[in-house]
Chain A
């Protein structure tokens, strides 16, 4: 990555971190409801991979920890926050909520609540790309524990068999809710599990964005060149609990501290400062500007946006009847 890109990405990562922290606060204030899964600690994963890919062009799909992936693809943070507030102006019109951010215009194909659900959907998106002959690729970001769903194996087999342009990114944060990977999974290193399907795989540090970027570039190039699927495992850590009702009793504060020493944002910041590309004061300005933006624009927009109308409860359940008349009545001719 060029220095200017790194500086831009640092600013984006600060936005991603602060956005999530603001969500946390809004949840405590009961402005946000339901389940809320936050991303702090894992920012280099999404950012490193998407810098190597083409955000807004390549198709991205993920699980319920989806705000940052959506924003990285080009979703407006205002609309994402409005979605969390359940507003009509939200990315999913307030119908989806935190676990279901969608922004089709930016090829962000959504957040899904069922663990493992996106695997075959990603392969299906890749199938559509293949049929249409485009140069996009599908990128599926999921956690480590998701690989224990049978559909993981079913999807890998099909993706390899049909040489589908799909990149599987496993954000291995060592836990599935409160169960550590050693206690749920026979193989800790997930990239080893795909060898049986002849899918090339790679593993690297998921905290250092430069490393993620280098590995992701090879992975993305492989897939875009028409060589079929690739599996990239990123070793990472989520700083907060799995969702909001998690007091993290299953892991030690010492372990958390070790990972916080390798904070993806601070590592990139320090590297840029050491290289003379910016100063600490510059960084502090970024933080301040970001907070101001989140408060004065993002949160304000969400707060002030209107709620959906109750009369529209059944909107979006099915296609609007008018448009479907020929098929609903059989009078197509």
Chain B
């Protein structure tokens, strides 16, 4: 198994799928000649040419709709929205066209497209370039939402998303493209549904996804070494649908829950996980679940304010200690 960077994993998935199926194409701003803002499409333009690797104008609503339209006839477009903040401009087409087409056509038409986008708060990118929008995407019927926390998932989820007949939104994180991790040498398809137990434990479950999985892992390490608390970390890489079984299983084992998300609350993954626990296994709980999340503010530019607005592993540790009456 090779150690590769997350952007390389995404690039490899593109390359394999494009060489297998001539109907797989990719499109987006600066993805071709420039190789992509995060290099995720590096070298594809040279290999597959401008008909299949399309540098688009800055017309998010337009090219997203165009990709969706092509998918009606069996093309499998991988549509890159440079930053999730720009996805607002494409959402009309994603939600009103791609997500609903199968249903409103009584199953005649489908939109097997993949939307990929970089989200999350990077460093001081300010109010209009720091959005976390998982909560918006995960509430749309007809759209699958996945979000990788490591190169293996990034590779395997993209492979599965391209093959899947449903539209899939892949939420990547701006700060994670250079993260290294193991990816199988052979072809690998990560399940689009489910969750991964990133670390097994017995005393408390830390739910995370994407970047917050790493806060949880770091927190689990500290909790184990310094406080003797055994934390299980569950990686909810599928946000829609959420893995109800996975959530129930872990909660039934640990009986205590902290959910970490980089998104703001109210509304979002944390709220949805708590609702799921209420519905699935309320009586397994020994304490009220706790959310760790960003402050409800447009992202401040100033670095001190930005840091104050976003949680990290220390906030997860604090939340757990509070659950155990140790803080």
Contact = CB atoms under 8 A, between A and B. Distances in A.
Given A146-B58, A148-B58, A185-B57, A100 B300 contact: no
B3 interface: no
B302 A94 contact: yes
A86 B302 contact: yes
Contacts of B300: 94-95, 308, 313
A325 B191 CA distance: 51
| Secondary structure class of chain B's binding surface, majority of residues | loop
B125 A115 contact: no
A178 B56 CA distance: 12
Contact of B29 (A87, A92, A179, A314): A179
B33 to A, nearest CB: 7
A177 interface: yes
Contacts of B86: 114-115
Contacts of B295: 313-314
Given A35-B129, A113-B126, A178-B34, A184 B58 contact: yes
Interface residues of A, number: 40
Interface stretch (B200-208, B250-258, B304-312): B304-312
B96 interface: no
Interface string A112-145: 1111100000000000000000000000000001
A183 interface: yes
A318 to B, nearest CB: 10
Contacts of B249: none
Interface string B95-131: 0000000000000000000000000000111111100
Given A92-B301, A97-B124, A98-B301, 19 more contacts: A35-B125, A86-B303, A86-B304, A95-B300, A96-B127, A97-B302, A100-B128, A113-B128, A146-B58, A148-B57, A148-B58, A149-B59, A176-B57, A250-B34, A307-B304, A313-B295, A313-B297, A313-B309, A314-B297
Interface of A: 33-35, 83, 86-87, 92, 94-100, 112-116, 145-146, 148-150, 176-179, 183-185, 249-250, 307-308, 310, 312-314, 317
15 contacts: A33-B123, A33-B301, A35-B129, A86-B124, A86-B301, A94-B302, A95-B305, A97-B126, A112-B128, A113-B129, A150-B61, A184-B57, A308-B304, A313-B308, A314-B297
